[in-house]
Amino acid sequence: MDSLHWEKTEQQSCSCFNFTRRQTKTETETTEFFGRRRRRRMNLTFNFQILPIISSFVFFLLFSTVFPATSASQFEDFRRLNQTFRPGEESKKMRLIRTHLMKINKPSVKTIQSPDGDIMDCVMVHHQPAFDHPVLKGTKPLDPPERPYGHHQHEPENYQLWSLSGEYCPEGTIPIRRTTEQDVLRASSIKRFGRKIAKPVRRDSSNGGHEHAVGYVSGEEYYGAKASINVWDPKVTDRFEFSLSQMWVISGSFGDDLNTIEAGWQVSPELYGDNYPRFFTYWTTDAYQATGCYNLLCSGFIQTNNKIAIGAAISPTSSYNGGQFDISLLIWKDPKHGNWWLEFGSGVLVGYWPAALFTHLRDHASMVQFGGEVVNSQASGSHTSTEMGSGHFSGEGFGKASYFRNMQVVDWDNSLVPLSNLKVLADNPNCYDIRGGINNVWGNYIYYGGPGKNARCP
């Protein structure tokens, strides 16, 4: 990742596996930490960075909704709904759910209980869901490829909540977050569980609209992207909403052939049953219609690491006017085999998306995006109070606003290079905004986010 040496007057770094605690002098003044503040439910804090969106893709994403978020406390709502079915119908529904769970919850050789209630199953690498895919059956995970030139690795540490006990899965296995009946019941349907909704959703805020604040580059051939993003735990005020920050690697048109690879952090009560920020991945090869899913909830992504759990809670998080922690993400195309690899943190490979999954992304990406997204599901005409990023506008700057820093792309020669012609876009800048910049310490960066409903965003 980035050089993490101590600079007494310029910056202060502390490499912590996926996270880097860093105090930086911004363009005109040095920001000083006021000591380590513990924030909300976790004792530490940390940062993370993500990706942008072009206007046409923003419009398209507004059509690709994540199914409504339902907190664990809403489980009884579903129970009451189930009571409207005849007993035979309810039994059939539960049988379908259990059959689906048998497909995605693979036999484990060890289980690890996370402090947040998650159960991590240690599954043999060759038994993971990826190898249920027709084009991947009978294959084996590949060896790690060569990293892009200009990439620097550091000693890894793991700050995912489930691993704070020091327990990890044995070599030859991977940790998979166990999916429960309650998880599936929170989804709109078994078929849509773990997937984004492809049916059109109007862009206005009265009908489940998605709102973005993103930076993007396009117009060239891209073979990957890298950035560091500070991680927060934004308030999500409605069970049908979520807040996320991520990178998108995109190819194809914005019609039915859209290919995307996505990674970042998200708060989604519907998907996870709580309000923790969680590391997530996504992919699709047909514009979210029938292919792809979050994390390992379908076959596709091949995980190779036994210490990272996709979908697991991140700890610590950044605190307002206090400590900032970020996570680094690198996605790049292996020049030899054409697969798209994911690195999370300082030099730790998570796994890869096989080239065989894609059409346009078998070659290269035509756009890279970094930024934040929320769902505004309010039907009353009043805007949601769901926060993006830190919940503060970009103008508040370091220590207060969310950021992406050291934003780079991978070129045709497998080299990390600075962004050229970075553009920024906010769907509703009175609710969530964004601004970009460049300096010698952070390279290309963006600040973004906002509180949602406020005096200028009623």
By annotation, the residues acting in catalysis are 262, 373
Distance CA 250, CA 285 (A): 10
DSSP conformational letter for 74: G
Helix (H) or strand (E) holding 403: strand 402-410
Q: Which of 312, 391, 411 is nearest to 113 (CA)?
A: 312
With beta carbons less than 8 A apart as the criterion, state whether 377 and 220 touch: no
CA distances 424 to 51, 124, 313, Å, are 11, 43, 29
Tokens matching residue 441: 């310490």
Tokens matching residue 237: 């005020």
Tokens matching residue 76: 């009884």
Amino acid, res. 81: L
Three-state SS annotation for 139-174: CCCCCCCCCCECCCCCCCCCCEHHHCCCCCCCCCEE
Grouping H, G, I as helix, E, B as strand and the rest as coil, residue 270 is helix
- Phi-psi category of 123—alpha, beta or left, where left has phi over 0 and alpha has psi -120 to 50? beta
- As to burial, measured by CB atoms within 10 angstroms (0-12 exposed, 13-18 middle, 19+ buried), residue 416 is buried
The string of DSSP codes covering 190-202 is TTTTTSEE-S---
CB count in 10 Å sphere of residue 274? 17
CB count in 10 Å sphere of residue 300? 24
Grouping H, G, I as helix, E, B as strand and the rest as coil, residue 54 is coil
Distance CA 222, CA 364 (A): 6
Grouping H, G, I as helix, E, B as strand and the rest as coil, residue 355 is helix
Distance CA 34, CA 31 (A): 9
Tokens matching residue 403: 């950021």
Residues in the chain: 458
Backbone angles phi, psi at 316, to 5 degrees: -90, -170
